Amino acid sequence: MVARTQQRWQTPTWKQELAAAFNEPLALLGALGLSPAELPEPLQPAPDFRCLVPQGFAALMGRGNPYDPLLRQVLPLAAEARPTAGYVSDPVGDGNARLAPGLLQKYQGRALLIATGACALHCRYCFRRHYPYADEGPQQERFAAAIAALEQAPDINEVILSGGDPLLLDDPVLAALIAALDALPQLRRLRLHSRLPSILPSRITERLCAILAGSRLQLVVVVHINHPAELGEDAHRALLSLAELGAPLLNQSVLLRGVNDAVDTLGELSESLIRARVLPYYLHLLDPVSGAAHFDVPEAEGRRLITQLRQRLPGYLVPRLVREQRGAAAKTLLL
Ligand SMILES: *Cc1c(COP(=O)(O)O)cnc(C)c1O
Ligand code: SF4
């Protein structure tokens, strides 16, 4: 079941939930019955990438657990401020792949549109945490420039709406963008990269589903879930609504120290995903973005985890272990 269609004059539930999200680590800790003294290390007093956590996501965390794997993904710790060799602001070379402002092409046949810089949850390990969104110009101009660049690129047959989170666009903006993409004859597929089905499931409304179903393009949805506890009942229902559109649903995770660096956790994640009609797609090694070194899991450990996972699960429940390498023609497969 999806959220009931809102009356026109009401603020949609998902926007109300976004406005009520925690943006203060102390408030979040308080809601979890934790004090900063119980944390493994101090909070980062003034993070450049602010704290943002919807209440529904916080409700999935264990009370009183300073090591909770969901909390760890969102809590700005002092470790973020420690410079680490090899950790940089643009670890994946986004800056060298621009076809137009906010339109990136690294791989043959597909281009990635940074639809918005906004996210509903600020993941501390985000490889775009330093992306210069503000330099890209106003939304309508960016979209017009992106469409114009795509008109000149007949070899691109798939557009990926990414971000930030593309589902944070308002319905009319998203509908207009999709309509403009529909009109490009060379496009076959529209891919959405979104974390909202799990972190803000109320965003998956009937109206949104109708907009997605109205496109002539084949829809593929890639969600981002790192730990089985992120898949609560609301997320499960939101994913089933998307599955009803007939779109393949795939998941990408990042392998994160202290979050999902255990074979039992990864196995449970795959089992929870498939119950919601989602197949595991990628397990990314951490991109070395400055501020995220405390999440690093070495490649050898990633290989060992995947090898163990393959001994336990059917092949379709084992994600591909990948690393993004600057200038490579595809994500680098590590196993
Ligand atoms: C990761 C990425 C893609 C998608 O790669 P797939 O292997 O097709 O999932 C596309 N464009 C850019 C710029 C990317 O970073
Ligand atoms: S949802 Fe994705 S883009 Fe947004 S902060 Fe998290 S990792 Fe970054």
What is the chain's pLDDT, residue by residue, as a tens digit (335 residues)?
Answer: 455 555 566 889 999 999 999 999 999 999 999 999 999 999 998 888 999 999 999 999 999 999 999 999 999 999 999 999 999 999 988 888 899 999 999 999 999 999 999 999 999 999 988 888 888 889 999 999 999 999 999 999 999 999 999 999 999 999 999 999 999 999 999 999 999 999 999 999 999 999 999 999 999 999 999 999 999 999 999 999 999 999 999 999 999 999 999 999 999 999 999 999 999 999 999 999 999 999 999 999 999 999 999 999 999 999 999 999 999 999 999 98
Ligand 1 pocket mutation pick from 104, 113, 331 by most atoms within 8 angstroms of CB: 331
- Ligand in closest contact with the CA of 325: 1
Ordered strands of the 189-194 beta sheet? 98-100, 103-107, 110-116, 158-163, 189-194, 218-224, 249-254, 278-284, 320-323, 332-333
- Ligand in closest contact with the CA of 162: 2
pTM reported for the whole predicted model: 0.95
In the reported structure, the alpha carbon of residue 311 is separated from the centroid of ligand 2 by a whole-number distance in angstroms of: 31
The CATH class for the domain spanning 95-333 reads alpha beta
C-alpha dihedral sign at 293, 129, 234, 21: positive
| Rg from Cα positions in the chain | 19
Alpha carbon distance 89, 240 (integer Å): 36
Ligand 1 pocket list (CB less than 6 A): 97, 104, 106-107, 110, 112, 160, 330-331
In the reported structure, the alpha carbon of residue 118 is separated from the centroid of ligand 2 by a whole-number distance in angstroms of: 9
- Ligand in closest contact with the CA of 131: 2
Number of Cβ atoms within 10 Å of the Cβ of 330: 11
Ordered alpha helix ranges (H), the chain: 13-19, 25-31, 55-58, 69-74, 139-151, 171-182, 196-199, 206-213, 233-243, 263-275, 299-312
Residue found by looking up tokens 């995947």 in the block: 306
Atom 9, ligand 1: which residue's CA is nearest? 331
> In the chain, where are the structural domains located?
2-81, 95-333
In the reported structure, the alpha carbon of residue 185 is separated from the centroid of ligand 2 by a whole-number distance in angstroms of: 30
Q: What is the DSSP letter of 276?
A: T
Query: Residues 6 or more apart from 152 whose CB is under 8 A from it?
Result: none
